[in-house]
Amino acid sequence: MAEQINEQELIAYIAGKTKADPQKIKSVLKYEQDFINKAHKNAKGEVDIDSDDIADYVLSRPDIKLDELTVDNILDAEMDFLMEKGIASYLD
């Protein structure tokens, strides 16, 4: 993601929508970024990632003590934030 986002604003937004602990949100986002960084880019330099794959990766981390629904809600709220800011979009 080339655009800069305000991490504190993002975490506050996600916490407001999900009621999840901000520290746990940070951990989920950190592992999500690790997953994205390891993903292969297509010819246009874009990464097409399934959100279920990200959730599975995050849930497989030993220090993540959240249920799947909470992780999904955090990732969904993050995507809502990024779409509202015009930074990301869903592919058809």
- Angle (deg, nearest 10), helices 22-38 and 7-18: 120
Where along the chain do its domains lie? 7-84
| More confident site: 4 or 67 | 67
Per-residue pLDDT reduced to its tens digit, 29-46: 999 999 988 888 778 877
DSSP state at residue 3? S
Q: For 74, how many CA atoms within 13 A lie in the half-sphere containing its CB?
A: 28
Specify the pTM. Answer: 0.84
Higher pLDDT, 88 or 83: 83
Q: Rounded to 5, what percent of the chain is helix, strand, coil? A: 60, 0, 40
Q: How confident is the model at residue 86 (pLDDT cuts 50, 70, 90)?
A: confident
